[in-house]
Amino acid sequence: MNDNPFALWVYLSQSPLLWLTVTLLTYAIADAVSLKTNRNPLANPVLHSMWVIGVFLLLTGTSYTTYFGGAQFVHFLLGPATVALAVPLYENRMQVAAAILPMLAALAVGSVTAIISVVWLAEAAGLPRTVVLSLAPKSVTAGVAMGISESLHADPSLTAVAVVLTGIIGAIIVTPLMNRFGITDFRARGFAVGIAAHGIGTARAFQVDAVAGVFAGIAMSLNALVTSLLVPLAVTLLVR
């Protein structure tokens, strides 16, 4: 046995093993709860994993850098998962080809709305300039948004937080909102949540309907493309 009971903790808390386990275990429990509630939007597994792990880090005085040492293995998979979206796209290519014009129109309007609305609202709310800039790419997937934020000399880690919060809000709001407006076209519903709330919205769409999931995935990847072109332009035009 160890003389010092803290020695084990000191060792474990610095190893990737502990933080990877904490991430997967917390998510597995959050996901099981979400399943138990019949995928109630408020039981969003990302939201609940986030605060549970966050509180755990604060209580144990662990830095985010240490945590990320383990969690980076999960974070890394965002890239391959984006590539993997080719498969649902391929499998539903007929349906996608049939809806190509509505998709392009919705992409143009949606990506512009996502950027302009957040920049204007953030300025109107009197948020500091770095925060406004960091919020601009919030509707695209984390890796891409952080890259855009870096090129604007904003705060990429703040952008990452904004991206995840946006995704969670979108995933929670989309089902009640679309039902409220009586929208039954799952292609349109999925496409909208993919534009507004990237991968977390796409994950939600796959839970609701397979077709919605496919359209969300396409929207998410197209939006990543368009937003990386639009944000620098919008920022020079809108931010004083």
Residues 97-136 that bind another protein (CB under 8 A): 99, 101-103, 105-110, 113-114, 117-118, 121-122, 125-128, 131, 135
Complex with another protein: residue 14 or 62, whichever CB lies closer = 62
Q: Is 50 in the site for another protein (CB under 8 A)?
A: yes
Of 2-10, 35-43, 183-191, the segment contacting another protein by CB under 8 A is 183-191
Please report which helix (H) or strand (E) contains residue 175, including its range: helix 156-180
18 makes contact with another protein (CB under 8 A): no
Would you say 194 and 201 are in contact if contact means Cβ atoms under 8 Å apart? yes
Binding mask of the shown chain, residues 138 to 157, with x at each position contacting another protein by CB under 8 A: xx--xxx--x---------x
* Residues 201 and 170: beta-carbon distance below 8 Å: yes
Instruction: State the minimum distance, in angstroms, from the CB of residue 239 to another protein.
Output: 14
User: Residue ranges of the alpha helices (H) in 37-155?
Assistant: 45-60, 64-76, 78-84, 86-91, 93-98, 100-124, 129-135, 142-151
Select 4 or 171, whichever has its Cβ closest to another protein: 171
Binding another protein by CB under 8 A: which of 89, 210, 238, 239?
Answer: 89
Contacts 24+ apart (CB under 8 A), 11-19: 13/60, 13/62, 13/66, 14/66, 14/69, 15/70, 16/69, 16/70, 16/72, 16/73, 17/70, 18/70, 19/66, 19/67, 19/68, 19/69, 19/70, 19/71
Is there a contact between 217 and 194 (Cβ–Cβ < 8 Å)? Answer: yes
Distance, in Å, from the CA atom of 132 to the CA atom of 49, rounded to the nearest integer, reads 27
Closest to another protein by CB, 14 vs 143, is: 143
| Residues in region 216-235 near another protein by CB under 8 A | 217, 219, 221, 224-225, 228-229
CB of 9 to another protein, least distance (A): 19
Distances (CA, A) of 32 to 2, 35, 37, 42: 36, 5, 9, 14
Please say which residue, 204 or 235, places its beta carbon nearer to another protein: 204
Binding flag, residue 41, another protein (CB under 8 A): no
* Contact flags string 54-73 toward another protein, x per CB under 8 A: x--xx-----x--xx--xx-
**Would you call 39 helix, strand, or coil by DSSP?**
coil
Residues 190-219 that bind another protein (CB under 8 A): 191-193, 195-197, 199-200, 202-204, 206, 217, 219
